[in-house]
Amino acid sequence: MSRVAVKLSCTNEQEMALNKLARSRTEQARLVERAQIVLACLSGKRNDEIATEMKLRPNTVGIWRNRFATHGLAGLYDHARSGKPATYDHPALRQRILTQLEMPPPDGMSTWDGGLLAVSLGVSPDIVWRILRKEGIQLQRHRSWCVSTDPEFAAKSADVIGLYLDPPHNALVLSIDEKPSIQAIERTCGYVHTSSGKIVRAMKSTYKRHGTLNLFAALQVATGQIQGKITATKKRIDFQAFLDDVIAEQPEEREIHIVLDNLSTHKGNADWLAAHPNVTLHFTPTSASWLNQIEIWFGILQRKALRGASFESIEKLTQAIEDFTAAYNKSASPFVWRKREVKGAQLRNTIVNLCN
């Protein structure tokens, strides 16, 4: 006497879920296969027919037919398995690792790494790395930061951002700073074929130095236009001369607001300000020159005109900067302020937070 297979039925929601799983390209292959088995069963096919079409054993089809009949969609998933017992008590070892990271590294070492932690704790390096990966701790990756502890951070940053978002009517708002000690370096550059088959930009390791120069630059916040001036030094007299150049074509009665960082050259200009009562200087908070929009343009200049280039002389470097500025101004547009929150002191010891 032959056995009769369980007759299956399902709801519309279950059928939709089964079809989605059976067509999935991201789910585990065994789950896709089980969904296809159940759909074939629901279509009225016998176990042996399905097994022949899918090149499976009939009892395999019977297992998933019965699992679906008893448990529905949940029956297609594997039950949790006990697995091999853990060699270490992970919660306790996790706490030991985090505590050790707060301790000074061994003599002669600047930082901890996985091997040093394993030796210090007397455990396997593998378990140390597994716990570090789980916590997202990357001991060899580094990031720099700039934290402002200026007690007037909120007021100063609001003043600067206010000029970006809502400048005074008919006023000229300028963002000014200097990029000092730009080196005229001459070296061979070009494209090379690497051992991995990639073609990359390359620079010869040997080079010649031909001196340095200083670049003063002013960004018109409303238009994005750049006005620059190259000098041999960056003294106060150079800074004031650049300010004279920037406002030379502006009517004396026009209100001018200039955003600056806290470089000593930018301060102590009372005599110059007295001669230009229409000019107001606005200083970013200390250690927060990134609030000054001209810094964005300096980054663009570095990436597109200076990095990876070769200059045979100071004159060649000067010409390259002037050419880039002229080309940039042809399609310049203002930077749009999008940052929702601006904070000063925001550095926290993350390892301590994980320990708590």
Q: Could you give the angle at the alpha carbon of 256 between the alpha carbons of 250 and 262, nearest 5°?
A: 130
With a cut of 90, say whether residue 231 has pLDDT above it.
Answer: yes
Q: CA Rg, the chain, in Å?
A: 34
Could you read off the pLDDT of 24-61 as tens digits, one per residue? 988 999 999 999 999 999 999 999 999 999 999 999 99
Q: What is the band of 238 on the pLDDT scale with cuts at 50, 70, 90? A: very high
pLDDT reported for residue 347: 64
Q: What is the band of 222 on the pLDDT scale with cuts at 50, 70, 90? A: very high
CA distances from 172 to 78, 164, 269 (A): 68, 11, 20
Report the C-alpha gap between 319 and 123 in whole angstroms. Answer: 61
Is 66 within 8 Å of 93 (Cβ atoms)? Answer: no
Across the range 270-290, mean pLDDT stands at 91
CA distances from 45 to 6, 11, 25, 49, 58 (A): 11, 19, 25, 6, 12
With a cut of 60, say whether residue 2 has pLDDT above it.
Answer: no
pLDDT reported for residue 1: 44
Q: What is the band of 6 on the pLDDT scale with cuts at 50, 70, 90? A: confident
Q: What percent of the chain has pLDDT over 90?
A: 58
Could you read off the pLDDT of 171-206 as tens digits, one per residue? 999 999 999 999 998 898 888 888 888 898 888 888
Across the range 334-343, mean pLDDT stands at 84
Is 121 within 8 Å of 114 (Cβ atoms)? Answer: no
Report the C-alpha gap between 160 and 293 in whole angstroms. Answer: 10
Across the range 108-132, mean pLDDT stands at 91
pLDDT reported for residue 181: 93
Across the range 306-333, mean pLDDT stands at 93
Q: Provide the H-helix boundaries in 139-249.
A: 153-165, 236-247
Strand partners, 216: 178, 229
With a cut of 80, say whether residue 4 has pLDDT above it.
Answer: no
Report the C-alpha gap between 240 and 291 in whole angstroms. Answer: 22
Q: What percent of the chain has pLDDT over 70?
A: 95
With a cut of 90, say whether residue 135 has pLDDT above it.
Answer: no
Q: How many other CB atoms are there within 10 angstroms of residue 333's CB atom?
A: 8
Report the C-alpha gap between 162 and 178 in whole angstroms. Answer: 23
DSSP code string of 96-127? HHHHHHTSPPSTT-SS--HHHHHHHHTS-HHH
pLDDT reported for residue 344: 72
pLDDT reported for residue 140: 87
Across the range 18-22, mean pLDDT stands at 93
Q: Exposed (0-12), middle (13-18) or buried (19+): which is 264, by Cβ within 10 Å?
A: exposed
Is 257 within 8 Å of 171 (Cβ atoms)? Answer: yes
Nearest by Cα to 224 from 343, 336, 318: 336
First to last CA, the chain: 66
With a cut of 80, say whether residue 84 has pLDDT above it.
Answer: no
With a cut of 60, say whether residue 356 has pLDDT above it.
Answer: no
Report the C-alpha gap between 111 and 103 in whole angstroms. Answer: 10
Is 283 within 8 Å of 266 (Cβ atoms)? Answer: yes
